[in-house]
Structure 1
Amino acid sequence: KERSFVTVKSLRIVLIGKTGSGKSSSGNAVLGWSEFKSDLSQTSVTKLCQKAQGRVEGRRVEVVDTPGLFDSTMSHHEVNEEMLKCISLLAPGPHVFLLVLQIGRFTPEEKETLNLIMKAFGKDAQKFTIILFTHGDKLEDYGLSLEEFIQKKCDDSCKKLISDCGNRCHVFNNKEKDTERKYIQVRGLIKKIDDVVRANGGGCYTNEMLQEAEAAIQKETQRLLQEKEEEMKRKMEEMEEKFKQEMQKMQQRMEEQRDENEKVLQERDNELKELKTNIKRDFSPHLSCIVIVLLKLYIPVRIVNIAHLVSYNFHLLRPGVLICGQHVFGLSRPQ
Structure 2
Amino acid sequence: MAQRLQKRDETLSDEAKQPTDSIKRLRFIVLGSDEVLINEACDTILRSTDAKRMETIKRGRTCEFREDYVSGRHVSVVKTPTYWLENLKTYLFFSKSVRSLKRDMEFSYSMVFPGPHAFLLVLGDVRNSGKEHYLLRALSEVFGQEVLDYSMVLFMHGYSDRDIGRNRCVRKCSERYHILKDNEDNVLKLFHDATAMKQRKANFFTNDLELLYKAETYFKKEFDATYEEREN
TM-score bracket, normalised by the shorter chain, equals 0.5 to 0.7
Q: Secondary structure at the match of 1:131?
A: strand
Residues 203 and 189 (structure 1), Cα distance of their counterparts in 2 relative to 1, 3 Å cut: closer
Q: Output the CA distance in 2 between the equivalents of 1:203 and 1:112.
A: 25
In the alignment, is the contact (CA less than 8 A) between 2:128 and 2:169 conserved in 1? no
Q: Output the CA distance in 2 between the equivalents of 1:119 and 1:182.
A: 35
Alignment correspondent of 1:278:
none
Q: Output the CA distance in 2 between the equivalents of 1:164 and 1:106.
A: 12
- TM-score, structure 1 as length reference: 0.46
In the alignment, is the contact (CA less than 8 A) between 1:26 and 1:172 conserved in 2? yes
Residues 166 and 104 (structure 1), Cα distance of their counterparts in 2 relative to 1, 3 Å cut: closer
Residues 26 and 79 (structure 1), Cα distance of their counterparts in 2 relative to 1, 3 Å cut: farther
Of all paired residues, the percent bearing the same amino acid is 23
Aligned residue runs from structure 1 range 243-254, under 5 A: none
Decide which structure has the larger Cα Rg and report it.
1
Residues 188 and 199 (structure 1), Cα distance of their counterparts in 2 relative to 1, 3 Å cut: same
Alignment correspondent of 1:113:
135
In the alignment, is the contact (CA less than 8 A) between 1:14 and 1:98 conserved in 2? yes
Q: Output the CA distance in 1 between the equivalents of 2:134 and 2:193.
A: 23
In the alignment, is the contact (CA less than 8 A) between 1:21 and 1:102 conserved in 2? no
Residue 165 of structure 1 deviates from its aligned partner by 1.1
In the alignment, is the contact (CA less than 8 A) between 1:67 and 1:79 conserved in 2? no
Residues 133 and 105 (structure 1), Cα distance of their counterparts in 2 relative to 1, 3 Å cut: same
Residue 162 of structure 1 deviates from its aligned partner by 1.4
Residues 115 and 210 (structure 1), Cα distance of their counterparts in 2 relative to 1, 3 Å cut: farther
Q: Output the CA distance in 1 between the equivalents of 2:75 and 2:117.
A: 11
What is the aligned counterpart of 2:171 among 154, 157, 163?
163
Q: Output the CA distance in 2 between the equivalents of 1:113 and 1:169.
A: 16
Q: Secondary structure at the match of 1:49?
A: strand
In the alignment, is the contact (CA less than 8 A) between 1:87 and 1:207 conserved in 2? no
Q: Output the CA distance in 1 between the equivalents of 2:152 and 2:36.
A: 15
Q: Output the CA distance in 1 between the equivalents of 2:132 and 2:81.
A: 14
Residues 210 and 119 (structure 1), Cα distance of their counterparts in 2 relative to 1, 3 Å cut: farther
Alignment correspondent of 1:13:
28
In the alignment, is the contact (CA less than 8 A) between 2:37 and 2:124 conserved in 1? yes
Matched letter for residue 8 of structure 1: I
Q: Output the CA distance in 1 between the equivalents of 2:62 and 2:50.
A: 14
Q: Output the CA distance in 1 between the equivalents of 2:147 and 2:46.
A: 23
- TM-score, structure 2 as length reference: 0.64
Residues 89 and 62 (structure 1), Cα distance of their counterparts in 2 relative to 1, 3 Å cut: same
Give RMSD over aligned pairs: 3.0
Q: Output the CA distance in 2 between the equivalents of 1:14 and 1:192.
A: 15
Say whether 1:66 aligns with 2:66: no
Alignment correspondent of 2:145:
123
Residues 13 and 23 (structure 1), Cα distance of their counterparts in 2 relative to 1, 3 Å cut: same
What is the aligned counterpart of 1:101 among 98, 102, 123?
123
Alignment correspondent of 2:43:
28
Q: Output the CA distance in 1 between the equivalents of 2:199 and 2:65.
A: 25
Q: Secondary structure at the match of 2:175?
A: coil
Q: Output the CA distance in 1 between the equivalents of 2:67 and 2:124.
A: 24
Unaligned segments of structure 1, at least 5 residues: 37-45, 140-145, 174-180, 212-335
Q: Output the CA distance in 2 between the equivalents of 1:189 and 1:55.
A: 15
In the alignment, is the contact (CA less than 8 A) between 1:16 and 1:97 conserved in 2? yes
Q: Output the CA distance in 1 between the equivalents of 2:32 and 2:131.
A: 10
Higher relative contact order (CA 8 A, sep 6+): 2
Q: Output the CA distance in 2 between the equivalents of 1:77 and 1:67.
A: 16
Residues paired across the two proteins, number:
176
Unaligned segments of structure 2, at least 5 residues: 1-16, 52-59, 88-96, 212-232
Residues 161 and 104 (structure 1), Cα distance of their counterparts in 2 relative to 1, 3 Å cut: closer
Aligned residue runs from structure 1 range 143-162, under 5 A: 146=159, 149-151=160-162, 153-154=163-164, 156=166, 158=167, 160-162=168-170
Q: Secondary structure at the match of 1:117?
A: helix
Q: Output the CA distance in 2 between the equivalents of 1:56 and 1:76.
A: 34
Residues 206 and 111 (structure 1), Cα distance of their counterparts in 2 relative to 1, 3 Å cut: closer
